Structure 1
């Protein structure tokens, strides 16, 4: 669980609601159905026009990573690779067949199977790197869904404000409606700017960081499997892979 994201979300709500109360507007001033439709629904409309369906679905699936990012236990993974290295040095690469059958991670299982099948180190590296690159590209595209929403939301907020002011101009002959109308117009601006800078853009950055962390872990796995294939000393493998930890 990423407690920093939870803290950030809570602070964002405090900033909006607390700021509105301290300014004397009250919580009710932040609620605007028309602004919500224009900004939030409009932003969703823009991003669905912007992205292919598969990318949009991936972006929505990745949203949970903001609070619960995929995390690999680096030291435990290194220990596992060193154990495989010891087995391979003592009994040969075929001794890793049991590890292939018991491994749940498809990426690791694929690499181990190539080891057992006797693939050349460069073949293993190039094959696994293609998998890493493809997955990274797809996940980054998913993260950019939220980045795109952060770009569109402020503009939709301005559109909402302009539409609100148009409604105000139509009621200039009724001064009692002017104050409420102007206030409602600026709610759309708040929705657009606040959603972009407090939620959408920070989420995109957090998701990109999670993708980079996954890529780093997979690069460590590749390096470990290549080292096993080359018959390197297990102690040297452990030292080398420790450099990937941060």
Structure 2
């Protein structure tokens, strides 16, 4: 669980609701299902018009990564690579062929397969960097979906407010309800602005960080496999790959290479 994401959204919601209550407002005043329907439906429709359906679906699947993040993945990958390096140094690079079925990461498995098959380090790097570049192109569209949603939702909120004002103006004969109607109409604007600045845009930023971490992890895997193929000492490989880890990960002690994960 990402404490920063959960804490941030709770703090933001609590601050806004506290301000509303301090000013004498009520939570029920901003609970308008019609306004929410206009903002959510309009924003989602605009996003689907801009992006392919598969991209939108992938973006919402990745949304869980904003709030749930498995820490220590880069350290686990480093330990795994060091175990492979130790085995390859003792038994040769071909001995890793037996471990290939158990490799879960597709990128690492492909790099190790090429290494076991005798691919030259330079050629292996070209092949895997091309695959990584293609993956970057795909992954960059994920946060772009939420950035677009953050741009659309305030405008959709204004549309909802205008629609509400139209309904109010049609009932000016009940002047005592005009003020209440105007207040309700502007709830859509609140929903649009809040969705953009408290959900869509922050999620886009967090997903960019997550995706960059994943790419760094793959770069570390590639560098590790090439180092194994070049026959470097596992200790040298460890020092070399630790530069890819975050400051927090570098401070933690990396367990010595043992069995292959």
Q: TM-score range by the shorter chain?
A: over 0.9
Q: Bigger CA drift: 146-155 or 93-102?
A: 93-102
* Structure 1 position 89, deviation (Å): 2.3
Answer whether contact 1:220 1:244 (CA < 8 A) is retained. Answer: yes
User: 2:177 and 2:7 mapped to 1: Cα distance?
Assistant: 39
Cα offset, 1:190, TM superposition: 0.3
Deviation readout 1:73-106 (Å, 9 max, x if unpaired): 3333222222222222222111111221221221
Tell me if 1:6 matches 2:11.
no
Aligned residue number for residue 84 of structure 2: 84
4+ runs deviating over 4 angstroms: none
TM-score (normalizing by structure 2) = 0.89
Question: 1:37 aligns to what?
Answer: 37
Q: Is the 8 A contact 1:168 1:181 kept in 2?
A: yes
Where do 1:50-129 residues align within 5 Å? 50-69=50-69, 71-129=71-129
How far is 1:173 from its partner? 2.6
Asked if 1:222 is matched to 2:227, the reply is no
- How many pairs align? 246
User: 2:158 aligned with 1:158, yes or no?
Assistant: yes
Structure 1 runs not aligned, ≥5 long: none
SS of equivalent residue, structure 1 residue 61: helix
Other structure's SS at 1:25 match? coil
C-alpha separation in 2, matches of 1:226 and 1:112: 9
CA contact (8 A) 1:20 1:30 kept: no
Asked if the contact 1:47–1:145 (Cα under 8 Å) also holds between the matched residues in 2, the reply is: yes
* SS state at 1:104 partner: coil
Please name the residue that 1:17 is paired with.
Answer: 17
Q: Secondary structure at the match of 2:186?
A: helix
Equivalence map 1:162-241=2 (5 Å): 162-241=162-241
Query: Structure 1 residues 167-176 or 140-149, which shifts more?
Result: 167-176
TM-fit CA distance, 1:165: 1.9
Q: Distance between the aligned counterparts of 2:80 and 2:36, measured in 1? A: 51
Tell me what 2:258 maps to: none
**Structure 2: distance between partners of 1:144 and 1:4:** 22
Instruction: Report the Cα distance in structure 2 between the residues aligned to 1:166 and 1:101, rounded to whole angstroms.
Output: 64
TM-score by length of 1: 0.94
1:243 counterpart SS class: helix
Q: CA RMSD in A?
A: 1.5
Cα deviation, residue 146, structure 1: 1.2
What CA distance in whole angstroms lies between the structure 2 residues aligned with 1:194 and 1:140? 24
Contact 1:125/1:222 (CA < 8 Å) preserved in 2?
yes
CA distance in 2, matches of 1:80, 1:38: 49
**1:182: how far off?**
0.8
CA 199–136 in structure 1, closer or farther in 2 if over 3 Å, else same: same
